[in-house]
Amino acid sequence: MEEKTVVLGVIGSDVHAVGNRILEEAFSEAGFEVVNIGVLAPQQEFINAAIETDADAILVSSLYGHGEMDCKGFREKCIEAGLEDIVLYVGGNLVVGKQEWESTKQKFLDMGFDRVYPPGTLPKEPIADLKKDLGIEG
């Protein structure tokens, strides 16, 4: 396959590094070019990395519960920066507390994310989705 680039990172004041490390391994092994900006990443850093590397997708992680606040306006900022078509995924423990998943998902879809993943998602699911969304043959 033609190599597609994804930017990976953990947004906001969040330091959960383990899932991020595993996603890096898994997406690399699946044939993606992975640009991992790591933890404690502000929105702007994701966008800068995406522009610099001409990325096809941004995968945002938020584990620590502040995802709702940290992700506000992310899609708009991408558009402002000229990344109109970039694929945006978000996943992790997105809100504070154990909450009804459907409404959490809707919240993030409304913010403009293309796909939203619940806690405990294994890498193979977003990998398959991303291949589909980027039109890569499995």
Partner 1 sequence: MKVENKRWSLDKFKEMRKEVLQEWPTGEEVELEEAIRYHQQQLSSEQVMANRLAEAEQEKITLIQPRAGVALIEEHIELLEFLHTEGGADLLPTTIDSYTRQNNYQEAEAGIKESRNEGRSMLNGFPAVNHGVQSCRQVIEALAVPVQVRHGTPDARLLAEITLAGGFTDFEGGGISYNIPYAKDVSIEQTIYHWQYVDRLVGYYEERGLKVNREPFGPLTGTLVPPSVSHSVAIIEALLAAEQGVKNITLGYGQCGNLIQDVAAIHTLKELGTEYLADYEDIMLTTVFHQWMGGFPQDEAQAFGVISWGAVTAALANATKVIVKTPHEALGVPTKEANAQGLRATKQVINMLKDQQSFNGEELATEKEMIKQETKEILDRVLELGDGDVAQGTIKAFEGGILDIPFAPSKYNAGNLLTARDNNGAVRFLKHGNLPFSEKVVDFHETKLEERGAAESREPNFQMVTDDIYAIGKGMLVGRP
Measured CA to CA in angstroms, residue 9 lies from 16, 21, 57, 131 at distances of 10, 10, 12, 19
126 touches, from partner 1, ligand B12, none (C-beta below 5 to 8 Å by class): ligand B12
Residue 12 interaction partner, one of ligand B12, partner 1, none, beta carbon < 5-8 Å per kind: partner 1
When asked if residue 18 is in the footprint of partner 1 (CB under 8 A), the reply is yes
* Closer Cβ to ligand B12, 37 or 60, answer by number: 60
* Residue 133 designated active-site: no
16 is known as an active-site residue: yes
C-alpha 73/C-alpha 70 separation (Å) is 9
Binding track, positions 34-73, relative to partner 1; x by CB under 8 A: ----xxx-----------------------xxx-xx----
Distance, in Å, from the CA atom of 133 to the CA atom of 125, rounded to the nearest integer, reads 12
Whether residue 28 contacts residue 81, with contact meaning beta carbons closer than 8 Å, is answered with no
The reply to whether 99 sits near partner 1 by the rule CB under 8 A is: yes
- Our measurement of the distance from residue 99's CA atom to the centroid of its chain's CA atoms, rounded to an integer in Å, reads 20
